Chain A
Amino acid sequence: MTPFELAEPRSLKDALALLNTEDPSVRAFGGCTALMLMMKTGVFQPTCLVSLRGVEPQHAEIQPDGGALRIGALATLTAIGGSAMVRKAAPVIVNAMQTLSNVRVRNVATLGGHLAHGDPHMDLPPVMIALDAELTAVSVNGERKLAVADLFTGYYETALAKNELISEVRIPSQAGRRSAYIKCTTRTADDWPALGVAVSFATDGKVIQDARVVVSAATEKAVRLRDAEAALNGATVSDAVLARAGEAAAAEAEVVGDARGSAAYKREMLRVYAARAVKQALAA
């Protein structure tokens, strides 16, 4: 690694001021795990890094907001996974955490960094999209709200401007809803997923409403599958309905092949896993 300046602002405002530059090699970090990998391989050679670890502690807080939940972007994944509030509001997040990277990475990696990295193999993007989470993006110009579903614009690409940071993620009330996230690894158990599927829907126990079906890892970005959702909405769950939803998911997802599996195989896996995710949500 090559030398660089390290700025450690004491406030989010100061951090945003530092990031308000045209220099693409100035970047902010929370946990610095993903960024570290890029620097070690020489893919990214910064002139200046901005550590967010010293900003106001409230940006790492998890707090209720009526029935909703607000998670500061600097909350570590370990803090989120261990939060009783998160467990109660959205147990799917806690379940996903068990196989998300490893303990040491979760101890330092932050929710904001996890989302802002734009890596389609990450576990929480599909979960957050399925939960209809909304994020707050801040910059020297002010703040704006953005659905997590609209964050990802391509492979490692997000809708965030160069000078913007995620400050908070808001998860709306999940009352009356069920959710699940399953992923499949095709090599070792701790491999990056070849496919992730998150589902969330409202149900009175029989009929599914307002379904969200999200695919990740097998596609360039985590994305909702509207046809699969349509196949579920208003339907009473049966093997035939699940098969139709799986079929729709496989048909509409823009699946890409890689070393973890061909596109054709991942599409077949999506067909099966989409249905299994719905079943798992119902069983949860």
Chain B
Amino acid sequence: MQRNIRFTLNGRPVETQVGNHQNLVEVLQGQGLFGARESCSQGLCGCCTVIINGAAVSGCLTLAPLIDGADVRTIEESQPDGKLDPVQQAFVETGAFQCGFCTPGFVLMTRQLLDAHPQPTDDEIRHYLAGNLCRCAAYPEIIKAVQLAAAKCKG
């Protein structure tokens, strides 16, 4: 029911004990990371987005033991120079958030989106981010932020 797991968290090795019934968000909280947040508890809102082995998942639907051996990256992963990355910069510049609770999920999903579609169309943005909810409805600004981030990444 309990087990030791080892994984890489934002580039650093971690070893911790988890219950089989715990989820990834709880594991991250145990590591002092609160940027992935359980909100809807159903994988629909994206507030708990975490990148595992390069793929985005809902932390609230990920059983803790399954991350044993995985590469786990969260919003807290700092950029090499300590600055904001182009996606974060674009979110700041376009004001693409209000309360900020869903923002880490949108930032992480936008990075994935730009990996898959470096110059996304409006339709691609809307489809890729359809699994993230923002109750403040900063959606128009988020679409602008994605476009700006794409432009920044292009250089």
Residues of A within 8 A of B (CB): 1-6, 8, 32-33, 36-37, 39-40, 49, 51, 53, 78, 98-99, 101-105, 107-108, 189-190
B46 A102 Cβ-Cβ under 8 A: yes
Bound form: Cα–Cα A51–B19 in Å: 15
CB distance from A78 to the nearest CB of B (A): 7
5 residue pairs from A and B, CB less than 8 Å apart = A49-B20, A103-B112, A105-B43, A108-B62, A190-B131
CB of B12 closer than 8 Å to a CB of A: no
User: What 10 A-B pairs come out closest when comparing CB atoms?
Assistant: A102-B131, A1-B21, A3-B1, A6-B20, A107-B55, A36-B61, A104-B58, A104-B56, A190-B130, A3-B21
Give which listed residue, B44, B62, B109, contacts A103 with CB less than 8 A.
Answer: B109
- Interface set, chain B 81-111, CB cutoff 8 A to A: 109
A53 B66 Cβ-Cβ under 8 A: yes
Total residues of chain B contacting the partner, CB 8 A: 30
Bound form: Cα–Cα A108–B62 in Å: 9
A36 B131 Cβ-Cβ under 8 A: no
CB of B154 closer than 8 Å to a CB of A: no
A103 B21 Cβ-Cβ under 8 A: no
Which chain B residue lies CB-closest to A98?
B127
Give which listed residue, B3, B63, B130, contacts A32 with CB less than 8 A.
Answer: B63
CB distance from A98 to the nearest CB of B (A): 6
Give which listed residue, B22, B41, B57, B63, contacts A104 with CB less than 8 A.
Answer: B57
Which chain A residue lies CB-closest to B105?
A104
A99 B127 Cβ-Cβ under 8 A: yes
Whether A105 contacts B58 in the complex (CB less than 8 A), given A4-B20, A5-B1, comes out as yes
CB distance from B50 to the nearest CB of A (A): 9
Report B-chain residues with C-beta under 8 Å of the C-beta of A53: 66
- Interface set, chain B 62-76, CB cutoff 8 A to A: 62-63, 65-66
Per DSSP, chain B at the interface is mixed
CB of B128 closer than 8 Å to a CB of A: yes
B131 A103 Cβ-Cβ under 8 A: yes
B55 A78 Cβ-Cβ under 8 A: yes
B66 A4 Cβ-Cβ under 8 A: no
Whether A102 contacts B43 in the complex (CB less than 8 A), given A3-B1, A32-B66, comes out as yes
Q: Looking at A3, A36, A190, which has the most chain B CB atoms within 10 Å of its CB?
A: A36
Which chain A residue lies CB-closest to B63?
A32
Report B-chain residues with C-beta under 8 Å of the C-beta of A98: 127
Bound form: Cα–Cα A102–B56 in Å: 10
B44 A102 Cβ-Cβ under 8 A: yes
Give which listed residue, B1, B61, B130, contacts A189 with CB less than 8 A.
Answer: B130
Which chain A residue lies CB-closest to B59?
A104
Whether A4 contacts B21 in the complex (CB less than 8 A), given A37-B42, A37-B61, A104-B46, comes out as yes
